[in-house]
Structure 1
Amino acid sequence: MARQPIGKVFLVGAGPGDPYLLTLRAAELIESADVVATDALVSPDVLSRVPRSAELIFVGKRAGAHAVPQEEIHRLLIQKAREGKRVVRLKGGDPFVFGRGGEEAEELAAAGVEFEIVPGVSSAIGGPAYAGIPVTHRAHAATVTLVTGHEGDDSAGVDWAALARLRGTKVFMMGTANLAVIAKNLRQNGMRDAEPVAVISKATTPEQQVIRGTLADIADRAQGVATPALVVVGAVVQLRDAINWFESKPLFGKRVVVTRAREQASGLRRLLEEAGAQVIEFPLIEIAPPDSYESLDRLIDVLDDYQWLIFTSTNGVRSFFDRLRFHGKDARALGLVMVAAVGESTADELRASGIEPDLVPPKFQSAALLPLLEGDQRGIRTAIVRGAEGGEELIEELRRRGGEVDLVVAYQTRRLAADPAILQDIDIVTFTSASTVDNFYAAAADRAASILQDARVASIGPMTSDALRKHGREPNVEASSASIESLRDAIVEAF
C-alpha cells in the first residue's frame, strides 16, 4: 500500500504592501506551493508568484468582513496538509503581529501537523518607514509599543492609563475605525492634546497617503481615509518633514501604463516603480518563436560565409543565441564576422552574450546604419537578424549597393487581446516599439483618443514616435536613446 505523503503548512508573512519587501524565503515557498490560502491584504503582485498548478484560496479578512471564519481556516489548513499538500498560509505583514498566526500555529500543533513560521515585514515598522517616520530615534523615542486598533470604549484588552504613561512611539494597527476612541482615551489618561499623530493609509504602496495632526484633531482630519491604515502617535511623527523619502520620488502617485510584451515589461516596470510610479501592465504583444527556424538554422550552419551580422533588437539577439546553443555552439561560432547592433539596448544584449558589437548607430533606427556601412557592398554578404515584421529599407539599400543580403527571421510578435477598461485615470502611457503603438490603437479602437487625451505619451525613439504621428498623436516625451533607462529618465525629466 502506497504511503500517504506528509504535508506541511508554512505561515508566511507577505509584507506590508510593496511587493519588493517580500522575503526571499517567502517568494521561494509561494512559488513551490500546492495550496495558497491568502488574506485580503496581500499584494496582487505577490499573488502573481503563485504557480498556475497551485490551488489559490481566498480566506481574506478585513475589519468587519470575514470571508472565511477563523475556525474554518484552521480546518482547511489541517485538511490540506493531511492530504500531503505543501500549504502556504499567506498573511499581510507578519503572521505573528496581529495576524492570528499564533492561533493557527497552536491549532496545527494540536493536530500534529508540521508547520514553519516565515516572518514578514510588519506594516507597523514598514509603514512608518515609508512615511518617513522612524518608530525609534535616539533623541525622541527609546521604545515602541504596538497596539491593536480594534479596541473600543468597553474593551478590557488595552490598559489605557498604562499605555498613556508610556513614553516613546505608539503604533495602532487597523485603528482608523476607532480613531476617535483611541485619541479620546489617550487624552483622558494624561497625554497632551498637542501630541503629534500620523495616519498612514495604504502604506508602502504608490497610493500611500499620510494625514498628520494631533490627538485633539486627528479624528476630524482623517475622516474617510482609505483602509488599510495605521496610526502612529509620538514625537517621531515630526521627523517626517525631514525624511519623507517615499512620497518625494519624482513619479510618486503617477499611474503609468507599460505596453511592452509581458516577458519584457519587468525591466521598465522596475525602473518606473523605483521612481515612485504605479505601473499598469497592458501587454499588447507577445514574443513568439518564428513559424520556421529554417532561415536561422541556415545562418548558423554557414556563419563563416558572412561578413556582417546585423541585429535590430534585443529579441533578435536572445533568439539567435538561444538557437545557437540549441545547436551546441556559443559566441565563438561568430569567428571573424563583424556585428552591428541597432540601439544601445541591443548592443548591451550582445555584450551579455559575450560579443562586443563593431558598429552601433547613434539612432535606434536600422536605416541609421546606412551612412556607417560601405557604399560599395559588392562581395559583402550580410545577414539581418530580426522579427518577422519590419521595414525593408535597410535590406533594399544594401542590395542596391551590390551586397548579398539575407533576411533571418529569429522571432515573431503576436497581437494580444487587451481590455482598455483597465486604463482609468492614467497619467502616462509608454510605447517601446511601433508595433505596440499600432496594437494599442487596435485594442482601444474608438476609445484610444479619449484614453490618451489627458495622459502624456512617452516614446522610446523616432520610429515609435513616427508610428504615433501616423495615428494623429504627437508624443509628449521621446527618449534620447533607445533604452528603457533613457525612457525612464525622459519621463522623470518631463515631470
Structure 2
Amino acid sequence: MIICIGAGPGDIGYLPQRSAELIRNADVVAGFNAVVNVVQALIPQSAEVVLMGYRDQVAQLDKVAQLHHAGKKCVVVFMGDIHFSGFQYLERVERACGHPVDTIPGISSAQILASRAKVCFDETTFITFHRRGDLTPFKRHLVHVLEDQRNAIVIPCPWDEARSFMPWHIAAYLLENGIPAQQPVEVWEHLTQAEAQWRGTLAECAHQRFSDMSIMLIRTMNPIPSQIEPPPEAQ
C-alpha cells in the first residue's frame, strides 16, 4: 500500500482522523522535512522516515517506491491539501511507483483563510503560483478573475529567487495590468500557527514584504449582494 495524504496547514489539530490512523499504522512515512515535522508525534517508532527537499525529492521518492513494492505500508505526507498545490509532487510519487496512488485530501491554507476572512468560495477563485513551469497563464487568469469582480485567494511562489512571485510582485503585476490601485488586499502569514495579518490596498501591498509562509486575499471591489430572504419587518 502507498497512499498520499494532506497533512493540513501546519497544525496537527486539522489533520483528518483517517490520515492520522494511516500514519500510526505505517511502515514508512515520507515527505518534506517541514511537513513530516507536523505529524511527527503520530509516527510509530518502528516506522522508517524518509525525508526530502526540493533537490533530492526524486531520488528519495524512488526509495519510497522500492519500499512500497517490497510490501511496506507507505504514507507520503503533503502540506495542506494535495490538490491545491501538491499535484506536481503527486505526479512525482506516481512516476516513482509506476502506477496511480490513492489520496486523502486535507485542510488547506486557502480554506483556513476563507474561514478567517469570511469569504465564500462560490464568489471566490483560488489560484496557486506555488508550482514549477510557466506562470504566465495563471497570472493572466488572476487578472481576469479580478476583472470579473470575484475575490481571489492566491498562494505566492516563494522558493525560486529567479522566478519568485511573492505578494509584492503580484501587486505590481496587477497594477501594471490595469487592476485598480485601491483594490483591497489582505496578506496572512503562518495560518494556524503564529498568525499575522496585513490589510491595505494593492498599491500599498506592492511596497510591503512578507515571509514565504504567506497567502493573499484580494477582495472584489463590488461584492455580490446577499440573495437570502429579506429580514422580517419590525413589528
Smaller-chain TM-score bracket: 0.7 to 0.9
Greater than 4 Å deviation, 4+ residue runs: 149-152
Q: Which has the higher contact order (CA 8 A, sep 6+)?
A: 2
Residue 94 (str. 1) matches residue 94 (str. 2) = no
Question: What is the CA–CA distance in structure 2 between the aligned matches of 1:198 and 1:175, rounded to whole Å?
Answer: 17
Residue 217 (str. 1) matches residue 201 (str. 2) = no
Q: Is the 8 A contact 2:130 2:155 kept in 1?
A: yes
Partner in structure 1 of residue 124 of structure 2: 143
Q: Is the 8 A contact 2:146 2:220 kept in 1?
A: no
Q: Which of 83, 91, 103 is equivalent to 2:70?
A: 83
What is the TM-score of this pair, normalised by structure 1?
0.39
Residue 231 (str. 1) matches residue 216 (str. 2) = yes
Partner in structure 1 of residue 147 of structure 2: 165
Q: Which of 184, 203, 218 is equivalent to 1:196?
A: 184
Structure 1 unmatched runs, 5+:
1-7, 61-65, 239-495
> Any idea what SS the aligned residue of 1:97 has?
helix
Q: Which amino acid aligns with 1:83?
A: A
Question: What is the CA–CA distance in structure 2 between the aligned matches of 1:148 and 1:40, rounded to whole Å?
Answer: 21
Residue 180 (str. 1) matches residue 164 (str. 2) = no
Deviation at 1:150, TM superposition (A): 6.0
Partner in structure 2 of residue 208 of structure 1: 195
Change (3 A) 1:49 1:88: same
Question: What is the CA–CA distance in structure 1 between the aligned matches of 2:200 and 2:38, rounded to whole Å?
Answer: 33
> Any idea what SS the aligned residue of 2:203 has?
coil
> Any idea what SS the aligned residue of 1:216 has?
helix
Question: What is the CA–CA distance in structure 2 between the aligned matches of 1:162 and 1:151, rounded to whole Å?
Answer: 22
Deviation at 1:213, TM superposition (A): 1.5
Question: What is the CA–CA distance in structure 2 between the aligned matches of 1:43 and 1:166, rounded to whole Å?
Answer: 39
Deviations 1:444-474, CA, capped at 9 Å, x for gaps: xxxxxxxxxxxxxxxxxxxxxxxxxxxxxxx
Deviation at 1:89, TM superposition (A): 0.4
Structure 2 unmatched runs, 5+:
159-163, 224-235
Question: What is the CA–CA distance in structure 2 between the aligned matches of 1:106 and 1:44, rounded to whole Å?
Answer: 23
Residue 133 (str. 1) matches residue 117 (str. 2) = yes
Deviations 1:264-313, CA, capped at 9 Å, x for gaps: xxxxxxxxxxxxxxxxxxxxxxxxxxxxxxxxxxxxxxxxxxxxxxxxxx
Q: Which of 55, 60, 64 is equivalent to 2:48?
A: 55
Deviation at 1:53, TM superposition (A): 0.4
Change (3 A) 1:166 1:79: farther
Partner in structure 2 of residue 156 of structure 1: 136
Deviation at 1:10, TM superposition (A): 0.8
Q: Which amino acid aligns with 2:138?
A: V
Deviation at 1:101, TM superposition (A): 4.3
Partner in structure 2 of residue 33 of structure 1: 26
Deviation at 1:72, TM superposition (A): 2.1
> Any idea what SS the aligned residue of 2:103 has?
strand
Q: Is the 8 A contact 1:124 1:146 kept in 2?
A: no
Alignment size in residue pairs: 213
Q: Determine what percentage of the aligned residue pairs are the same residue.
A: 27
Q: Is the 8 A contact 1:145 1:171 kept in 2?
A: yes
Question: What is the CA–CA distance in structure 2 between the aligned matches of 1:122 and 1:20, rounded to whole Å?
Answer: 13
Change (3 A) 1:155 1:46: closer
Question: What is the CA–CA distance in structure 1 between the aligned matches of 2:130 and 2:31, rounded to whole Å?
Answer: 22
Deviation at 1:174, TM superposition (A): 3.4
Q: How is 1:342-381 mapped onto 2 (pairs within 5 angstroms)?
A: none
Change (3 A) 1:151 1:44: closer
Question: What is the CA–CA distance in structure 1 between the aligned matches of 2:36 and 2:2, rounded to whole Å?
Answer: 21
Change (3 A) 1:155 1:24: closer
Deviation at 1:216, TM superposition (A): 0.3
Deviation at 1:37, TM superposition (A): 0.7
Q: Is the 8 A contact 1:12 1:90 kept in 2?
A: yes
Residue 115 (str. 1) matches residue 95 (str. 2) = no
Deviation at 1:47, TM superposition (A): 1.5
Question: What is the CA–CA distance in structure 1 between the aligned matches of 2:211 and 2:36, rounded to whole Å?
Answer: 16
Q: Which of 115, 119, 124 is equivalent to 2:110?
A: 124
Question: What is the CA–CA distance in structure 1 between the aligned matches of 2:112 and 2:18, rounded to whole Å?
Answer: 18
Q: Which of 72, 96, 105 is equivalent to 2:59?
A: 72
What is the alpha-carbon root mean square deviation over aligned residues?
2.8
Question: What is the CA–CA distance in structure 2 between the aligned matches of 1:49 and 1:58, rounded to whole Å?
Answer: 16
> Any idea what SS the aligned residue of 2:153 has?
strand
